Structure 1
Amino acid sequence: MESNNTRIAVLYATAQGSCRDIAEFIAAHLIARGARVELAEVEHAPELELFDAVVFGSAVHDRALLPEADAYLRTHRDALTSRPVWLFSVGIGPSLRGPIGRRLARIVPPDVAEIREMISPRAYRAFAGYCSRADLPVPSRVVYRLIGGARYGDLRDWDQIRDWTDNLADELGLPSTDSEKAPQS
């Protein structure tokens, strides 16, 4: 695959914006690595036949992908299994701490596991999102704290997201950026 001609669709389903922000970050990083990228919400997704690879992300609520993400993945299963796909999800799971939280964070939700089995992505990664205290009802805040939710706010680990994106860019044979070529001091 010619790196400067690699066309990648970065598609996402978001509820509160965290997944969109991560998808935008991934798209910008892939563009910096030399790919031609189209970023779109699943409702406005382009024809997959135009792309060499797909990066797909969805928010996870109640341990399930958003309904529009699930429907898109099932509807486009054949097109997705015929090209390299990277899958990511965004939720609170990866941000959980403590013995219970770390154990829960390692569990892939059954809905996500089923989708992974169905489309066989090259890689799957769960990222932490943004967790607003004001958006959670009191009982949910209590549960969040009990299962290891240590804080609220922006819980995204941008270095982790960049590393994951670099791995997929390397797998696609995209050239390194100048900052990646620079020796570390």
Structure 2
Amino acid sequence: MESPIHRIAVIYATAQGSTRDIAEFIADDLAGRGAQVELSDIEHAPELSRFDTVVLGSAVHDMALLPVATTYLHTNHTALAATDLWLFSVGLGPALRGPVGRVLARRVPKKIAALRDSVAPHEYHAFAGRFDRDRVSRPARTLHRLMGGGRYGDLRDWRAIRGWSARIAESLGLPEATTSIVQP
């Protein structure tokens, strides 16, 4: 007996591209395991009733998901509740170091926690993104250093992203990837 093909929507809201890159990586990994995957930015998201699983990611700004992601989650609450939802965010928090940074990195901001709890995803995971020094103001750079930051550039942990994607695949009973996905 042939196992069913899992239909997965990977939807993302990005500000500078980090979230899109992570969503693409997850979509490629799940497709490489035999799932039927559709990747879409949130503004062109497909009809959710066609999918068994939804993986939704958003960039984090001002300790909240992007407004377009928040609106999408509220607007599609009923459809998302009827599917296997996996939620991720991409921001600076997970990359913070030092005593203050480590505490902040483990905390889910209140707005994100409230939204996460309202849609009850299978799992939520926060990933670090890109933090380019030339794209942020001097006060933001100072705050970054005080919170335990210090590094700039691509702070994404591709091993953690691959591991989270593997957890999604395992929960769906998907086989090991047939090809190795190369991170950006």
Q: Which residue of 2 aligns with 1:71?
A: 71
Task: Give the counterpart letter for 2:104 in structure 1.
Answer: L
Looking at structure 2, the residues matched to 72 and 61 of structure 1 have their Cα atoms a distance apart, in angstroms, of 16
Do the aligned partners of 2:32 and 2:179 also contact (CA within 8 Å) in 1? no
Residues 17, 179 of structure 1: alpha-carbon distance in 2 compared, 3 angstrom cutoff: closer
Correspondence 1:8-27 to 2 at 5 A = 8-27=8-27
Residues 3, 108 of structure 1: alpha-carbon distance in 2 compared, 3 angstrom cutoff: farther
Moved more, 109-118 or 149-158: 109-118
The 3-state SS of whatever aligns with 1:115 is helix
Q: Which residue of 2 aligns with 1:183?
A: none
Q: Which residue of 2 aligns with 1:84?
A: 84
Q: Which residue of 1 aligns with 2:168?
A: 168
- Give CA-to-partner distance per residue, 1:59-109, whole Å, 9 cap, x none: 000100000000000000000011110000000000000000000111101
| Count of aligned positions | 179
Q: Which residue of 2 aligns with 1:144?
A: 144
Offset of 1:150 from its aligned partner?
2.3
Q: Which residue of 2 aligns with 1:45?
A: 45
Looking at structure 2, the residues matched to 75 and 19 of structure 1 have their Cα atoms a distance apart, in angstroms, of 21
TM-score, normalising length: structure 1: 0.94
Offset of 1:178 from its aligned partner?
4.6
- Give me the identity figure in percent: 58
Residues 31, 11 of structure 1: alpha-carbon distance in 2 compared, 3 angstrom cutoff: same
Offset of 1:5 from its aligned partner?
1.1
The 3-state SS of whatever aligns with 1:140 is helix
Do the aligned partners of 2:33 and 2:178 also contact (CA within 8 Å) in 1? no
Looking at structure 2, the residues matched to 123 and 13 of structure 1 have their Cα atoms a distance apart, in angstroms, of 18
RMSD: 1.3
Looking at structure 1, the residues matched to 175 and 103 of structure 2 have their Cα atoms a distance apart, in angstroms, of 37
- Give CA-to-partner distance per residue, 1:110-145, whole Å, 9 cap, x none: 111111111110100000000000011111101100
Do the aligned partners of 1:3 and 1:172 also contact (CA within 8 Å) in 2? no
Residues 141, 3 of structure 1: alpha-carbon distance in 2 compared, 3 angstrom cutoff: farther
Looking at structure 2, the residues matched to 46 and 139 of structure 1 have their Cα atoms a distance apart, in angstroms, of 39
Task: Give the counterpart letter for 1:139 in structure 2.
Answer: P
Looking at structure 1, the residues matched to 6 and 103 of structure 2 have their Cα atoms a distance apart, in angstroms, of 38
Runs of at least 5 residues in structure 2 that lack an aligned partner in the other structure: none
Moved over 6 A (4+): none
